[in-house]
Structure 1
Amino acid sequence: MGTLQPPARSEVQISAADATLVGELTVPESAGNLVLFAHGSGSSRHSPRNQFVSQKLNDAGLATLLLDLLTRDEEAVDVRIAQHRFDIELLAERLVHATQWARRNAGTRQFRLGNFGASTGGAAALVAAAALPRDVGAVVSRGGRPDLAGNELPRVRAPTLLIVGGEDHVVIDLNEQARAQM
């Protein structure tokens, strides 16, 4: 009986229309699914929460791509003046580029894909899923703002799980309103 090898982990760079995105791709042995992470405002691929969820998914045999949807310069501006954190169109466009990269990459092209979004990343994950209905097989939004996906919500075809803390009544209401549009 052999021992499982630790997952292969590598830093990747993904060309988007106007930026180079940096991410961490982790592929466990025998993975058949890839979860692309869209983190929320003020967060990054190094977020302890996202790292924790990614590790649990890796332990379950799923590959993960923790991705920074903003460049370092954009993140620095966003920290000061919040210029990009609610630019769902920009975040979703970059997640679309990452999805297309995963479809072209020799190590991931055969995987089924899903999006995991937190905070504003939840809206970006949904908009990207609406844009690529044949590529995105599932969406999970944790503490997300799916309401920010707006008119794209009815176009989402992927099964979607909206997770919100039980005491976060404002975000629960926003998620319920978004769910009604899907």
Structure 2
Amino acid sequence: MFSEPVSIAVPGNVELAGDLDVPASPRGIVLFVHGSGSSRHSPRNRAVARQLRQDGWGTLLIDLLDQDEEQADAATGRHRFDIPLLAERTVTAIDWLGTHPATSTLGVHLFGASTGAAAALTAAATRPHRVVSVVSRGGRPDLADHALPHVQAPVLLLVGGRDTQVLGLNREAAGLLHADHRVQTVPGATHLFEEPGALDHVADAAQEWFLHTTQTRNNPGRAT
């Protein structure tokens, strides 16, 4: 396992902190795009990332805001719905993965949560040849409405079965996607997936999606 803390420079003279972990012979790299007041320390994202690494995937968890921006956002909420800013920084992280020796040859998958799902989808539309697939957990893909028709990567929208409002928003957003996609509910789960077994369900579904889309991209003639 290769593990290191990283710092990614983004426009505006800002440095974003991250944690990069790459197992031996990785299947690909999963970039986590957090949302709404969260960070790379999100216990839910870290739980999913840990399970993905056990299944052979590399992971990069990054902060999309620096410390000053996080403090401003905590007080005013000014950045958490700034999808263009979050998407721009996600694109920078995708490009950075293409330059790092441990990840430069790996396919990039995006895992977005809450408003981070909109940033992930917008970034996928911006980097169609780099992003293999996208998974959203309890996301707000509707906030990426203008980018959705331009996404080429397959998209899995995971929503808690009891999170009815967000489920409706996901179904509406799915109607704007031209890429392969699926809306999948996690039975009994609410918005934060705090119920026993809910995050395990998310991690299993994400792993299956990442593996299937990787195989399909590598062997397009054998897609089913």
TM range (shorter): over 0.9
Identical counterparts, % of pairs:
52
Partner of 2:4: 10
**162, 165, 188: which one aligns with 1:167:** 162
- Does 2:22 match 1:27? yes
Q: Aligned-pair distance for 1:47?
A: 1.0
Partner of 2:69: 74
- Does 2:140 match 1:118? no
Q: Which consecutive segments of 4 or more residues in structure 1 shift more than 4 A?
A: none
Partner of 2:218: none
Aligned-partner Cα distance in 1 for 2:62–2:172: 28
TM-score by length of 2: 0.78
Aligned-partner Cα distance in 2 for 1:134–1:179: 21
AA at the equivalent of 2:5: E
Q: Report 1:134-153 matches (<5 A).
A: 134-153=129-148
Q: Aligned-pair distance for 1:32?
A: 3.3
Unpaired segments ≥5 residues, structure 2: 178-224
**40, 57, 62: which one aligns with 2:57:** 62
Per the alignment, in what secondary structure is the counterpart of residue 152 of structure 2?
coil
Aligned residue pairs total 176
Unpaired segments ≥5 residues, structure 1: 1-6
Aligned-partner Cα distance in 1 for 2:33–2:65: 10
AA at the equivalent of 1:66: L
Aligned-partner Cα distance in 1 for 2:76–2:145: 23
